[in-house]
Structure formats: structure tokens, C-alpha cells
């Protein structure tokens, strides 16, 4: 599906408000990267982290430091 026209502006507004934007998708890494670029989540020279399956689940279920 194409990125809706309002999405890049919404991402920019989130960033300007101090919100760290992350993307969770079931797409393959190349598709996900393309969408993230089109949305403004990453820029062409950014490095990015891909988490799959067990590692993703481990990270979202772990408690933040200090808890």
C-alpha cells in the first residue's frame, strides 16, 4: 500500500514534540526500510535496527532499568 500523504507530516510533528518514532511491521526488511524512508522515520544515510521474532519479543517484555 502507498504511504498516505499526511503521514510524513504526522511523523515530523511527533519528532518535533520529542516523540521517538518506531515502526513495527510484518513486512520484509527491504519493504520496511522503503516505507520508513517515505514516511520520514529514517533518512537515506541513517543506520537502523531490525529485530525479529524472539529478540523483538524479549525486548518488549523486558522491564526498563530500575524496575
What per-residue confidence (pLDDT) applies to 67? 57
Q: Supply the pTM of this predicted model.
A: 0.75
What per-residue confidence (pLDDT) applies to 54? 86
Instruction: Look at 20 and 64; give whichever has higher pLDDT.
Output: 20
What per-residue confidence (pLDDT) applies to 66? 56
- For residue range 6-36, list pLDDT tens digits in order: 999 999 999 999 999 999 888 888 999 999 9
Sequence length of the chain is 67
Question: DSSP letter string over 38-66?
Answer: HHTSS-TT-------HHHHHHHHHSPPTT
CA dist 62 and 59 (Å) reads 5
Percent of the chain at pLDDT > 70 equals 96
Amino acid at each position: 500500500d502507498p504511504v498516505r500523504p499526511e503521514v510524513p507530516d504526522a511523523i515530523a510533528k511527533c519528532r518535533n514534540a520529542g516523540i521517538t518514532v518506531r515502526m513495527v511491521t510484518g513486512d520484509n526488511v527491504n519493504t520496511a526500510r522503503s516505507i520508513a524512508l517515505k514516511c520520514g522515520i529514517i533518512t537515506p544515510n541513517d543506520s537502523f535496527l531490525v529485530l525479529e521474532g524472539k529478540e523483538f519479543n524479549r525486548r518488549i517484555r523486558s522491564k526498563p532499568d530500575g524496575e
